[in-house]
């Protein structure tokens, strides 16, 4: 977006599960405010580039420096919330980068895209760090829920009653939403955050841990279960399919309801190929 208020123009790149809703909300807000129609901005002096993806902190620092060298601005503004929350403009948005342009962008982030902003300061790496720390908590929650529901099933405890306990005792969005997905085995990647994206974020957490000599045992377990879920056919699923990996290690069927495992004919074909090559 251009920083001059009289000729501010918006652009949005990346129309995935999240971006398509964010772009629509931004366009609707711009039209309501009678701003120029949404368009792809050209790189020009004073342009502000706002990144909502999850990047490693040092990557955002590199992009911020490159932007300065080219006379433009770069902000790291990762978001928290699933596609349904993006659609309702209810995201929580971390904002980091040069102070002057942070203030320019804040007035559009809320209410156009989100319900709240967390200002992380001038260094874009801080916004990226908050996103990774937040995802550490979310993925850790998924791992714990996966373990708990598997244990409930193995001991014969009613999964629905256990979910009611979660709703009443842990009424946070991550617990309630992912608890329902794991209870039902509903891992559609069309309405959630895909497993490969979750593995990328998990790798960032583990990398930060390695670089700072900080153990990340919960995420290490989650990584193994995500890898298992991917190997048995869950690559296109929501990252809560991590539960399938946990279920396998507990001796349970990986998926409930719809079977997302590799097709039998495909597995047989692969096995046949291996046998012939041997």
Residues marked active site are found at 131
The reply to whether omega before 7 is within 30° of 0 (cis) is no
Residues facing residue 91 across a β-bridge: 114
Cα torsion for 229, 235, 236, 239, to the nearest 10°? 50
The DSSP-derived string for 108-150 is HHHHHTEEEEEE--S-HHHHHHHHHHHHHHHHHHHHHHHHHHH
Q: Give the separation between CA 208 and CA 202, rounded to whole angstroms.
A: 10
Q: Give the separation between CA 246 and CA 243, rounded to whole angstroms.
A: 5
Q: Give the separation between CA 96 and CA 50, rounded to whole angstroms.
A: 10
Cβ-in-10-Å burial (0-12, 13-18, 19+) of 24 comes to middle
What is the chain's alpha carbon radius of gyration, rounded to the nearest angstrom?
21
CA-CA distances (angstroms) from residue 60 to 44, 69, 102, 258? 20, 14, 15, 40
If DSSP states are collapsed to H, E and C, what string results for 44-66? CCCCEEEECCCCCHHHHHHHHHH
């Amino acid at each position: 977006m251009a920083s001059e208020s009289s000729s501010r123009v918006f652009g949005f790149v990346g129309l995935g599960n999240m971006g398509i809703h964010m772009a629509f909300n931004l366009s609707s807000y711009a039209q309501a405010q009678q701003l120029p129609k949404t368009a792809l901005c050209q790189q020009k002096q004073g342009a502000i580039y706002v990144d909502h993806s999850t990047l490693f902190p040092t990557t955002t620092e590199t992009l911020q420096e490159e932007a300065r060298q080219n006379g433009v601005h770069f902000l790291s503004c990762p978001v928290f919330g699933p596609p349904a929350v993006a659609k309702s403009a209810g995201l929580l948005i971390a904002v980091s980068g040069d102070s002057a342009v942070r203030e320019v962008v804040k007035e559009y982030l809320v209410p156009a895209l989100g319900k709240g902003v967390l200002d992380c300061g001038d260094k874009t790496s801080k916004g990226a760090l908050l996103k990774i720390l937040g995802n550490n908590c979310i993925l850790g929650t998924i791992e714990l829920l996966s373990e708990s529901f598997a244990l409930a099933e193995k001991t014969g405890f009613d999964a629905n009653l256990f979910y009611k306990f979660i709703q009443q005792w842990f009424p946070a969005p991550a617990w309630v939403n992912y608890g329902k997905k794991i209870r039902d085995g509903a891992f559609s990647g069309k309405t959630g955050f895909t497993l490969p994206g979750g593995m990328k974020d998990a790798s960032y957490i583990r990398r930060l841990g390695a670089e700072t000599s900080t153990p990340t045992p919960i995420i290490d377990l989650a990584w193994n279960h995500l890898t298992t879920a991917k190997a048995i056919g869950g690559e296109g699923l929501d990252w809560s399919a991590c539960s399938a990996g946990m279920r396998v290690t507990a001796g349970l069927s990986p998926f409930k309801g719809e079977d997302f495992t590799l097709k039998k004919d495909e597995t047989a074909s692969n096995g046949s190929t291996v046998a012939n090559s041997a």
